[in-house]
Amino acid sequence: MAEATIMVFRGEAHQGGEEKEYTVPVQEGMVVLDALLYIQANYAGDLAVRWNCKAAKCGSCSAEINGKLGLTCKMRMDSLPLEEPVRVYPMKTFPLIKDLVTDVSWNYEIEKRIPPFAPPEGELTMYQEDIDRIQEFRKCIECFLCQNICHVLRTHDRKDSFFGPRYMIKIAELQMHPLDTVDRTELLNGDGGMGFCNITKCCTEVCPENIQITDNAIIPLKERVADRFFDPLLWILRKLAGK
């Protein structure tokens, strides 16, 4: 049977870590997560890996494989050059807990800061054509790969001033909801840090659900923010109206 060499980052918070080498048998259709679970069962029972559904639907098993961001349950071994070792690392943007597991709790703190959907009273009537575009955003599996790749968060560590692409599509979904009654543009322009995004589209490229984060969510939101806060004509009108 064919074999592959896997180099897995092993280490704990504040202690650093190093690559460890393992050899695993390769089966047809095998994914990187299969290799990691094989390592767990046969060589290193304490290898920390976060995973759940193993079907690319829960977004738990995000990692950096040969420097590329992806879900380990979706990344097929036969898509990688197996004559070289496969290198598996944890997401860089979030603090390390152990091995491939990082502390992503910051994301949940951001979620709390976004005002939820607020519908009007009575029966809700919506048409498919009005919700098609926001259903795209609802496909998000919260793998946080977009947060991980975003250079505002990854390179500049501005978690204090930018919510990140995941929460841009969350806000877009609510702002574009045909029945929602709350305005979140001020949040976007303020705490949300919309201005930090310079639309490099890295987030869109790594999304395992192929959500067009930049084109369909961030750019339209930027337009709304611009209309609201930076349109000179509207600014004069608002001044005249005393608002």
10 vs 151, beta carbon nearer other proteins:
10
Q: Is 64 in the site for other proteins (CB under 8 A)?
A: no
- Taking CB under 8 A as the binding criterion, the range among 100-108, 149-157, 187-195, 225-233 that sits at the site for other proteins is 100-108
Cβ neighbours, 10 Å, residue 207: 22
Q: For residue 211, give both structure tokens.
A: 């959500």
Largest CA distance in the chain: 78
φ, ψ of residue 115 in degrees (nearest 5): -55, 135
Residue 226 near other proteins by CB under 8 A: no
The C-alpha atoms of residue 73 and residue 186 are separated, in whole angstroms, by 38
Look-up of token digits 């395992």: 208
Tell me which stretch binds other proteins (CB under 8 A): 29-37, 87-95, 190-198, 218-226: 29-37
Are 21 and 5 in contact by the 8 Å Cβ rule? The answer is yes
28 binds other proteins (CB under 8 A): yes
Tell the smallest beta-carbon distance from residue 224 to other proteins (Å).
20
- The burial of 195, by beta-carbon neighbours within 10 Å (0-12 exposed, 13-18 middle, 19 or more buried), is given as middle
Residue for token pair 């995973």: 51
Q: Does 58 bind other proteins (CB under 8 A)?
A: yes
Q: Are 85 and 26 in contact (CB under 8 A)?
A: no
Pairwise CA distance, residues 82 & 26, whole Å: 10
In the bound state with other proteins, the residue whose beta carbon lies nearer, of 49 and 225, is 49
For residue 14, which amino acid is it? Answer: H
Looking at 4, 6, 24, 48, which residue binds other proteins (CB under 8 A)?
Answer: 48
Chain positions 117 to 156 lying near other proteins, rule: CB under 8 A, are 117, 119, 124-128, 131, 134-135, 138-142
Q: Is 204 exposed, middle or buried (0-12, 13-18, 19+ CB in 10 A)?
A: buried
CA distance 149 to 69: 8
Binding residues for other proteins, rule CB under 8 A, total: 57
Binding flag, residue 42, other proteins (CB under 8 A): yes
Choice between 177 and 222, CB closer to other proteins: 177
Three-class secondary structure of residue 59 per DSSP: coil
- Nearer to other proteins among residue 49 and residue 222 (C-beta): 49
Binding mask 177-216 for other proteins (x = CB under 8 A): x---------------------------------------
Q: Which is nearer to other proteins, 159 or 222 (CB)?
A: 159
Binding site for other proteins (CB under 8 A): 12, 27-31, 34, 40-42, 44-60, 74, 76, 97-99, 101, 103-105, 108, 111-112, 116-117, 119, 124-128, 131, 134-135, 138-142, 174, 177
